[in-house]
């Protein structure tokens, strides 16, 4: 299993541009999450999904959108990029609530985004 | 909502000594507490976790303790080694949500 994969690894955006961060998992996990990690800080939850077609806001959703059309993919969309969105973005997944390992989240390698 | 505080923000220990990192949480409904290790430029990796029905859990040199009454939990690393140097994050999750609220991290340096 590749686990959780993310593309791209790095990206530089100009203010006002848009982009989509891709996240794919091959573990058949129902739950998926997007976090951002600012320099020297912890991770903040942006959005999460408990299954295909179901998404919900986390702590810091403003400026982002998500969709979940399949179990495997959970893309994060940035519209009108701003310097405040400069961060490292991590995608994660976990098994559903029926599993004994439901709480364990597995992280992707991250996408380092710079907005200038 | 849930809030997780983590202390200290940096910690330096001599190789072979023990290291302790502490976290407090605010939501008494939180029932799952993982600890993640993040090396520079890498993804967070789960190193140990504890559920609210357990007071202590050990895995070789790593242990986690939980005090539900005081709403705090701690990571203990014994016989520290240079490869233990990393940033450690605690988190708390509330039953049924599966969402984590992370602490702000502790940068551990193990001096050889």
pLDDT digits (tens, 9 = 90+) for B43-67: 999 999 998 888 999 999 999 999 9
Is there a contact between B95 and B29 (Cβ–Cβ < 8 Å)? yes
Q: Name every residue whose Cβ is closer than 8 Å to that of residue B102 and which is 6 or more positions away in sequence.
A: A42, A43, A44, B4, B89, B90, B91
At B44 the pLDDT is 94
Per-residue DSSP letter, A85: G
Nearest beta carbon to residue B43 from set A33, A40, A108:
A108
Nearest beta carbon to residue B100 from set A45, A97, A110:
A45
Average pLDDT along chain A, 116 residues, taken 10 residues at a time? 92 97 95 92 92 93 96 96 97 81 87 97
Does A59 contact B101 at a Cβ distance shorter than 8 Å? yes
């Amino acid at each position: 299993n590749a686990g959780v994969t993310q593309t791209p690894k790095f990206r530089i955006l100009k203010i006002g541009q848009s982009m989509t961060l891709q996240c794919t998992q091959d573990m058949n996990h129902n739950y998926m999450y997007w976090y951002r990690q600012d320099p020297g800080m912890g991770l903040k939850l942006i959005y999460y999904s408990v299954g295909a077609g179901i998404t919900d806001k986390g702590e810091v959703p403003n400026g982002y959108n998500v969709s979940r059309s399949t179990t495997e993919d959970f893309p994060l969309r940035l519209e009108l990029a701003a310097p405040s969105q400069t961060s490292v973005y991590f995608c994660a997944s976990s098994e559903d609530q029926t599993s004994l390992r439901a709480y364990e989240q597995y992280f992707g390698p991250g996408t380092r985004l710079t907005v200038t | 909502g849930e809030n997780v505080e983590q202390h200290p923000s940096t910690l330096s220990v001599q190789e072979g000594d023990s290291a302790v990192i502490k976290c407090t949480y605010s939501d008494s409904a939180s029932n799952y507490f993982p600890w993640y290790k993040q090396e520079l430029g890498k993804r967070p990796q789960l190193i140990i976790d504890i559920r609210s029905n357990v007071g202590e859990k050990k895995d070789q040199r790593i242990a986690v303790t939980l005090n539900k009454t005081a709403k705090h939990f701690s990571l203990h690393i014994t016989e520290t080694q240079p490869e233990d140097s990393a940033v450690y994050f605690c988190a708390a999750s509330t039953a049924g949500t599966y969402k984590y609220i992370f602490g702000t991290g502790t940068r551990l340096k193990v001096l050889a």
